[in-house]
Amino acid sequence: MTQPLFALSLGFGGVILATQIAFGAPQCDARDRVTALLAESYGESRQALGLAGEAGVMELFASTASGTWTITLTLPDGRMCLVASGTAYEAPEEELPARGRKA
């Protein structure tokens, strides 16, 4: 049961590390500038959010029109950093069941 969760965590860690290597360092700026860039350049709007430990707030921005998505992390000092981005975003038609529950 914990093995899939560990693998998923390892996968997310790999994505974050690969993104930081690709960009050289996390790209951060004031939150209002980053959200404006995502909206104006890609048509992305916030689709989900969650707490990222005590480090900040994780947000998923995406556009069903362009299919692009971006994961950001807003730090306590107000800076927003790009964590990962990609293509082929699709909004789920149905809600996925919570862990341990059958659909």
Q: Give the DSSP H/E element, type plus range, for residue 11.
A: helix 2-23
Maximum pairwise Cα distance, the chain: 42
Tokens (6 digits) for 10 = 């390892």
pTM of the predicted model as reported, rounded to 2 decimal places = 0.68
Domain ranges in the chain are: 2-86
| Tens digit of each residue's pLDDT, the chain (103 residues) | 445 544 444 445 545 544 454 545 568 999 999 999 999 999 999 999 999 988 899 999 999 999 999 999 999 999 999 999 999 998 888 877 777 656 5
Measured between alpha carbons, how far is 36 from 59 in angstroms, rounded to an integer? 14
